[in-house]
Amino acid sequence: MEGALIIGVFERLGFHLCKKLLEMGYEVRGISLNPSPDGSEEDMELEIGRNSNFEKLPIESARALCGRDQALIFSLYDLYTERKITRPHSERLAGDLEELIRLNDKWDSVVLLIPDSLGRQHPEECEINPIEKAVELAEGSAERVLRVILPSNGNTRPVEEQSAKKNICQNAGQTPSESCEGSDWREAAERIALLIDQGETGTRILEGIYK
């Protein structure tokens, strides 16, 4: 059975990718990057926790991870676009991630999920910069590296587009998280999961999402 470790499993993109990989028969373990878990994370954990092929792990358990996962997936999209973490937390997290990577001699593949806005932030304003060192270390330890670039529109999608989509969903008697917005993340996750399963490498740009 194929295995994957998703770092950022309870972010929107990481969560839907986790669900898709589980559907495809993968054994998935996940690490949360959210320093202050909320009700939505608890709901996600309840949903995928029912699958016996999923296991949630604390980042501190790095030593137990060695040799069990073929793919290391960094789901950093939401952290970049929503800036959920403070710089001190980012620096601690980066240290834990570097330890995790060094304890694994070789990853079959490393997958990076990042927004197209990456690189346009002012260096002093980007709290996630320390994590980039861990990402670079992971890239150097892998036989294959896949970088998936997703559109961010500055912050997942423009406010006016979010409002319009919310109105459409409400008129249809559905909530955005259950239908319209969820379908965007599901579509992206399906395309990413296919790239992972096919062993693709290099840089892939996902276009046509959030339209």
Q: What is the pLDDT of residues 70-127, one digit of tens each?
A: 889 998 887 777 666 666 677 777 888 888 777 776 778 899 998 887 655 544 455 5
Which pLDDT does position 195 carry in this prediction?
A: 95
pLDDT band at 136 (very low <50, low <70, confident <90, very high): confident
Q: Are 87 and 127 in contact (CB under 8 A)?
A: yes
Those residues whose C-beta lies under 8 Å from the C-beta of residue 190, and which sit 6 or more positions away, are 20
Label residue 67 left, alpha or beta by phi (over 0 means left) and psi (-120 to 50 means alpha). left
Kindly report the pTM of this predicted structure. Answer: 0.79
One-letter amino acid of 116: D
**CA-closest candidate to residue 145, choices 169, 112, 114, 173:** 112
Instruction: Tell me what pLDDT residue 126 has.
Output: 55
Show Cβ contacts of residue 76 under 8 Å, excluding neighbours closer than 6 positions: 8, 112, 113, 114, 128, 131, 135
Reported as a single tens digit per residue, the pLDDT across 34-80 is 777 677 888 998 888 889 999 988 877 655 565 556 889 998 887 77
Q: What is the pLDDT of residue 158?
A: 32
Mean pLDDT of the chain: 75
CA distances from 161 to 16, 132, 167, 186, 209 (A): 22, 30, 10, 18, 13
Q: Where are the beta strands (DSSP E) in the chain?
A: 3-7, 27-31, 54-56, 71-75, 107-115, 142-150, 202-205
Give all domains of the chain, ordered by start, each with its CATH number. Answer: 3-205 (3.40.50.720)
